[in-house]
Structure 1
């Protein structure tokens, strides 16, 4: 019950976003503009500010990053072996496979901040930011032969990747941000979490799942149950402990990200099927994340 109450404020914002999208603020342009603001301005500001000044220990972060990579690739492989269950064309399967390993950074940052404060935000930001390029490599690589898009171009334009690299570089330089600039970045970061969660709720879409229900169930099980279990095992095997272990399991248990839908639509894939899976994983994550947080104690 306590873990469920911990998630309640964040998922309430997601629910509010869904309600607003279908009522008071039902114009597509409003939410498209909000998503761009969060993605290109607010969230990069939060990541950069968190990483630029956080006391990150390279010796402790390396096992966390290695475990994160293992979790990401395990999600890809486990999703891929379920292809016979899908009953889908190759492009539709490549589109939906993203939902087995992509992760919602907005939700991860929000919960990490509640669990471990500013250092939790910085550590989750570093972990998520460094995993984004690998998630894009897997996704674009699978979709590239069916649509248009260049892998290096996708990575070079990704604001989360750029903000992560810039924040880490600034941290390693030993410089300090001027207080007025820190204040601006803090305010932008505060807005990022709330507006990002509203945007997640507004992006929820339902319709026909298409393909087989068994295939959709498998992808959801991989994302919400098997990946966190793999993360737990890898974390123990690599000696990840304390806050880093909590955040590794949280990272592995996050629902699928809306970027999967955006990429599928951009590259001629199965947008509606991906949107359904993202929506289902987000709603089910209320219960699955609560269970994993309870096990973490």
Structure 2
């Protein structure tokens, strides 16, 4: 946004793909632009935190990926109802953590324990069956099927649930679950048959999150969940994440945005060159401490 103020004379505001206004930048403030973008006054960037972390549900012990360079000897715990952030500089291998846990990246060492039981997670299908879900970083290339409709994009991770005894798919249940995604995620769409690629980035991301919630995961991992999304949609996604934590789900969020990590998480795991440099309590840490840890193994 700072670049716009530096090089532009006028600004055009869009909301949900519709033109809102075009105005000279002179006299406008960041807050006034945000208000036009979201259609209301945005008095706070992050919702009030009301989740309460409870007992440990996930233990990651000495996790090391097979193909190096990648993560090495990474250990941490995640509690029920907790939002754990993952921070680090570019190249710190943050994404490799969730990919290895989810089984899309092979591990050479380490254990993954869910509620005290070891999970092999040798591939994504096994990880889903074990109660794990992963919202990937690249929404357009690995998250959505852009030319296909909301129904397909909502149900694709949970297809087995819609098979009847005859082997056919239950249209009634598919329609019901698609509507659940639209309603519970507050997706703005003309209907079930709308191509997801025609929706805004924020609504695409809500469909993806809803898709994974239909698998009823215990652990939800989100890699850059608000990248490329306007500030209003970000707030809505933060609210969704917080509500999931209040339902005792374990949440892991990878983000390049330091204010996001400090605004939504309970603790932050800091990565440095593929290694865990430390875990800090969000309410007691600073950006300086996080950046110092992120530089530990460079």
TM-score (norm 1): 0.29
Greater percentage in strand: 2
Between 1 and 2, higher relative CO (CA 8 Å, sep ≥ 6) is seen in 1
The TM-score, its normalising length taken from structure 2, stands at 0.29
Larger radius of gyration: 2
Structure with the higher fraction of residues in helix conformation = 1
